[in-house]
Amino acid sequence: MYTNLSSTPDTFAGTQGTPTFTCYGPAGIGDNTTNRFCYDLDSLNYEDDDLISSISNIGGNGTAWSQSTTANQPAFQSGTSAMNGHPILEFDGTNDYLQMADQNDLNKSASTERTYIVVIRTSTDISSRQVIYEEGGATRGINIYIYNSKLYVAGWNRANDGADAPWDFKGIDSTITPTTEYIITMVYDGSSDNTTSGRILAYMNGSLMGTANGVGKLYGHGDDIGLGAMNRNSYFENGNGSGNGYYYEGDLAAFIQFNYALLKQKIGPFIEPSKSSITF
């Protein structure tokens, strides 16, 4: 999807777009049994500034992101606002977000492996706490968020649920800049050997942000799922977040989820300009 990326680590602005969108990468990276969530904004038949109530999931799970309340719907933008020739969703930072009921593929079932990819453009505000994606609540969950000029990816299973638990909040963060485009990849590679010997890895535009060790199994968790805000509850570097809020101000071009931990050599074509000029 994003080809000929700039060699500058933290930007891919001004690059050429590809004419088609696909959820699957080269060399057998995923199919609809492993790529469970993928959202194709190119297929939406909207004009600039139209509000979005639903985005179909062309991944194997099939569940759409949705928002029935007009005042909370993000806006569709293309043209000069496009990212690499592809349309984006514009979240206003006030009350825009999309939501999804609990899913076996995301939060209702225990898991030891997952991969998440989001493509975003920050706004001028990177100081406020802003949730890009979250699932779960204060006890168990995963999130990707902005706070105090940093981008965080994190996971936690704070309850003593059984084998490979508990494990406390494990976050990775990196400094970001305003009005900048990022491909963020989070790889959750937990443990299944009655330990907490797993890890979370995070990548930003092809560079390793860091690794968090001491990660175990992520048991089933409720509290719904949010894109562009905290939907019901979450957990952060400073503790609990309750209710709805922490609305994202910025643009989002892609959300993709795999139900296993992609290896570095398979993540590469998605996020590293030196690897390949491919589509998502």
Nearest to 211, CA basis, from 156, 260, 170: 170
pLDDT of residue 274: 37
pLDDT of residue 276: 30
Amino acid of residue 198: G
In a domain, 146, yes or no: yes
* Rounded CA separation 223/232 (Å): 6
In a domain, 276, yes or no: no
* 39 pLDDT above the threshold of 60: yes
* 263 pLDDT above the threshold of 80: no
CATH code for position 228: 2.60.120.200
In a domain, 160, yes or no: yes
pLDDT of residue 3: 29
* 42 pLDDT above the threshold of 50: yes
In a domain, 98, yes or no: yes
pLDDT classification of 24: cutoffs 50, 70, 90: low
pLDDT of residue 35: 86
Q: Number of structural domains, the chain?
A: 1
* 26 pLDDT above the threshold of 80: no
**Could you tell me whether strands 198-204 and 207-215 are parallel, antiparallel, or unpaired per DSSP bridges?**
antiparallel
pLDDT of residue 272: 43
- Residue range 111-139, pLDDT digits in tens: 999 999 999 999 999 999 999 999 999 99
In a domain, 3, yes or no: no
Whether 145 contacts 228, CB under 8 Å: no
pLDDT classification of 67: cutoffs 50, 70, 90: very high
Residue with tokens 């990326």: 5
In a domain, 17, yes or no: no
Show the domain range for 74. 35-271
In a domain, 28, yes or no: no
Nearest to 44, CA basis, from 56, 35, 36, 60: 56
In a domain, 24, yes or no: no
Exposure b/e, 100-115, CB count within 10 A at least 16 = b = bebbebbbeebbbbbb
| 7 compared with 127, residue with greater pLDDT | 127
